[in-house]
Structure 1
Amino acid sequence: MLKGFKDFLMRGNVVDLAVAVVIGTAFTSVINAFVTVIMDLIGKLGGQPDFSKYTPGGVAIGAFITALISFLIVAAAVYFMVVVPMNAVAARRKRGVEPEPEAPSEEVILLTEIRDALRVR
């Protein structure tokens, strides 16, 4: 029973997921600080970085606007700090590596054998 549990834990995807959670948790504080800086800049331009008290026509949509702006800032930060560099690294790795040719399917192998057998006759 313990061997099965050890095998489960040592699978690549479980370990990768654990590492991703730890890195994501650490990265959250960086992103939150970045959002705070951007929201302060928006506040300097617009006068108020927190839109929660914004109620046009009596409808309280300010909290939604604040959350939407925060989401867009987080999405942009993750894209430019993680996705773009990882795509650049993947492209750099791919440039030097030529893809392996695909192995023929079983049907093609069988048809080749039949063709070769018919030639012999």
Structure 2
Amino acid sequence: MLKGFKDFLMRGNVIDLAVAVVIGAAFGAIVTAFTANIINPLVALFGGNNVNGLSVQLGKSDKTIMDFGALITACINFLIVAAVVYFVFVLPMNKIKERRKKGEEPGPSEPTDVELLKEIRDLLAAQQNHQTVVQSTDVRNPKV
């Protein structure tokens, strides 16, 4: 029972799903705090004296602000999360899978197409020879 549960957990899809949930929940707050307190001030620095940093206001309403700084921040958030997922979860799992494969013995190799065709040819020839022998030894229908 435990071996089956272990095999279930070690399947790629379950691990991928678990990684996504853990990363989304645990690292979301850390990455948001990092970008809000470190990255956003740096992005706003390049935006000049404007309070909104790298943004453009298209109309007189606050709803018409195109905030490029928020887009850059979201991209940086994504890159940080992707790097953490890769280096903390995916890379070690791939190493574990490689180590497991090294311990396995390779199974019998599959025959090639040419080998299969030769086997079929030989079987057909043997079958044809067998039918010829049966027909020539048949007393009711002797071959002339």
Fold match, TM over 0.5? yes
From 23, 27, 35, the counterpart of 1:27: 23
- In the other structure, the counterpart of 1:48 is 41
- Specify the SS of the correspondent of 2:85: helix
Q: Give me the CA root mean square deviation.
A: 3.8
Alpha-carbon offset, residue 36 of structure 1: 3.6
Larger radius of gyration: 2
Say which structure is richer in strand: 2
From 66, 73, 76, the counterpart of 2:73: 66
Alpha-carbon offset, residue 60 of structure 1: 3.1
Alpha-carbon offset, residue 91 of structure 1: 1.2
Alpha-carbon offset, residue 115 of structure 1: 4.5
Runs of 4+ in 1 over 4 A off after TM superposition: 16-23, 49-52, 56-59, 115-118
Contiguous gaps of at least 5 residues in structure 2: 1-7, 45-50, 58-65, 130-144
Alpha-carbon offset, residue 50 of structure 1: 7.4
Contiguous gaps of at least 5 residues in structure 1: 1-11
CA distance in structure 2 between the aligned counterparts of 1:47 and 1:107, rounded to whole angstroms: 64
Counterparts in 2 of 1:95 and 1:22: CA distance versus 1, 3 Å: closer
How many residues are treated as equivalent by the alignment?
Answer: 102
Say which structure is richer in helix: 1
> Does residue 118 of structure 2 align to residue 111 of structure 1?
yes
Q: What amino acid is the match of 2:41?
A: Q
Seq. identity, %: 31
Counterparts in 2 of 1:21 and 1:113: CA distance versus 1, 3 Å: closer
